[in-house]
Amino acid sequence: MAEGLWGLEPGLHECIVPPSIPLVLLLPLPLLLGPAWHAAAQRCPQTCICDNSRRHVSCRHQNLSEVPDAIPEVSRLTQRLDLRGNVLKVIPPATFQDLPYLTHLDLRHCQVELVAEGAFRGLGRLLLLNLASNRLSVLPQEALDGLGSLQRLELEGNMLEELRPGTFGALGALATLNLAHNALVYLPAMAFQGLLRTHWLQLSHNALSVLAPEALAGLPALRRLSLHHNELQALPGPALSQASSLARLELGHNPFTYAGEEDGLALPGLRELMLDHGALQALEPRAFAHCPRLHTLDLRGNQLDTLLPLQGPGQLRRLWLQGNPLWCGCQARPLLEWLVRARVRSDGVCREPQRLRGEALDGLRPSDLRCPGDGAEEEEEETAAPLPRAPAGAREEEDGAAQPCPRACACVSESRHSSCESQGLRAVPRGFPNDTRLLDLRHNHFPSVPRAAFPGLGQLVSLHLQHCSIAELEAGALAGLGSLLYLYLSDNQLSGLSAAALKGAPRLSYLYLERNRFLQVPGSALHVLPSLFSLHLQDNAVDHLAPGDLAGVQALRWLYLSGNRITQVSPGALGPAQELEKLHLDRNQLQEVPTGALVGLPALLELQLSGNRLRALRDGAFQPVGRSLQHLFLNSSGLEQISPGAFLGLGPQLQSLHLQKNQLQALPALPGLSQLELVDLSGNPFRCDCQLLPLHRWLTGLNLRVGATCASPPRARGQRLKAAAAVFEACPGWAARKAKRTPGARRTRVQGRRRRDEVGHEAGAGTLVGHGFRSSRVALTCP
pLDDT at 371 exceeding the cut of 50: yes
Q: What mean pLDDT comes out for the span 442-454?
A: 94
Of residues 13 and 138, which shows the higher confidence score?
A: 138
Which residues of the chain does CATH 3.80.10.10 include? 258-272+283-366, 411-541, 549-685
Q: 210: pLDDT confidence band, cut at 50, 70 and 90?
A: confident
Q: What mean pLDDT comes out for the span 575-602?
A: 92
% of the chain beyond a pLDDT of 90: 47
DSSP secondary structure letter of residue 331: G
Please name the helix (run of DSSP H) or strand (run of DSSP E) that holds residue 526, with its range, or none: helix 523-526
Q: What mean pLDDT comes out for the span 363-376?
A: 71
Q: 414: pLDDT confidence band, cut at 50, 70 and 90?
A: low
pLDDT in tens, 266-288: 999 999 999 999 889 889 899 99
Residue 4 confidence (pLDDT):
28
For CA atoms 55, 61, 63, 66, the dihedral sign is positive
Q: 737: pLDDT confidence band, cut at 50, 70 and 90?
A: low
CB under 8 A, 24+ apart: contacts of 414-419: 416/459
CA distance 412 to 405: 9
Helical residues (DSSP H) of 348-417, grouped into ranges: 377-382
Q: 221: pLDDT confidence band, cut at 50, 70 and 90?
A: very high
**Neighbouring C-beta atoms of residue 469, cutoff 10 Å:** 13
pLDDT at 27 exceeding the cut of 90: no
% of the chain beyond a pLDDT of 70: 83
**For 331, phi and psi rounded to 5 degrees?**
-70, -15
pLDDT in tens, 706-723: 889 999 999 889 998 888
Tell me the average pLDDT of the chain: 81
Residue 373 confidence (pLDDT):
55
pLDDT in tens, 678-694: 889 999 999 999 889 89
**For 708, phi and psi rounded to 5 degrees?**
-80, 135
The β-bridge relationship of strands 402-403 and 395-396 is antiparallel
CA distance 438 to 420: 11
pLDDT in tens, 81-124: 999 999 999 999 988 888 889 999 999 999 999 999 889 988 99
CA distance 7 to 346: 69
Length of the chain, in residues:
783
Is 583 in contact with 606 (CB distance < 8 Å)?
yes
Task: Return the C-alpha torsion angle 191, 194, 200, 206, nearest 10.
Answer: -20
Residue 181 confidence (pLDDT):
95
Write the CATH number of the domain with boundaries 411-541: 3.80.10.10
DSSP secondary structure letter of residue 349: B
- Letter for the amino acid at 561? L
Q: What mean pLDDT comes out for the span 765-778?
A: 28
CA distance 352 to 91: 60
- Letter for the amino acid at 717? R
**Neighbouring C-beta atoms of residue 679, cutoff 10 Å:** 22
pLDDT at 727 exceeding the cut of 90: no
CA distance 253 to 569: 45
CA distance 227 to 207: 10
Residue 736 confidence (pLDDT):
55
pLDDT at 486 exceeding the cut of 70: yes
Residue 372 confidence (pLDDT):
61
pLDDT at 447 exceeding the cut of 50: yes
pLDDT in tens, 38-75: 444 446 778 888 887 888 999 999 999 988 876 554 45
Write the CATH number of the domain with boundaries 258-272+283-366: 3.80.10.10
Q: 638: pLDDT confidence band, cut at 50, 70 and 90?
A: very high
Helical residues (DSSP H) of 222-300, grouped into ranges: 237-240
- Letter for the amino acid at 574? L
Is 492 in contact with 511 (CB distance < 8 Å)?
no
pLDDT in tens, 548-571: 888 878 888 889 999 999 999 999
Helical residues (DSSP H) of 342-425, grouped into ranges: 377-382
pLDDT in tens, 315-352: 899 999 999 999 888 888 889 888 988 899 998 899 88
Of residues 380 and 419, which shows the higher confidence score?
A: 419
Is 62 in contact with 48 (CB distance < 8 Å)?
yes
pLDDT at 380 exceeding the cut of 70: no
Least confident of 408-417, 513-522, 541-550: 408-417
pLDDT in tens, 174-200: 999 999 999 888 888 888 988 999 999
Is 573 in contact with 545 (CB distance < 8 Å)?
yes
User: How distant is the alpha carbon of residue 216 from its chain centre?
Assistant: 24
Write the CATH number of the domain with boundaries 549-685: 3.80.10.10
Q: What mean pLDDT comes out for the span 518-535?
A: 89
Residue 239 confidence (pLDDT):
92
For CA atoms 135, 138, 140, 144, the dihedral sign is positive
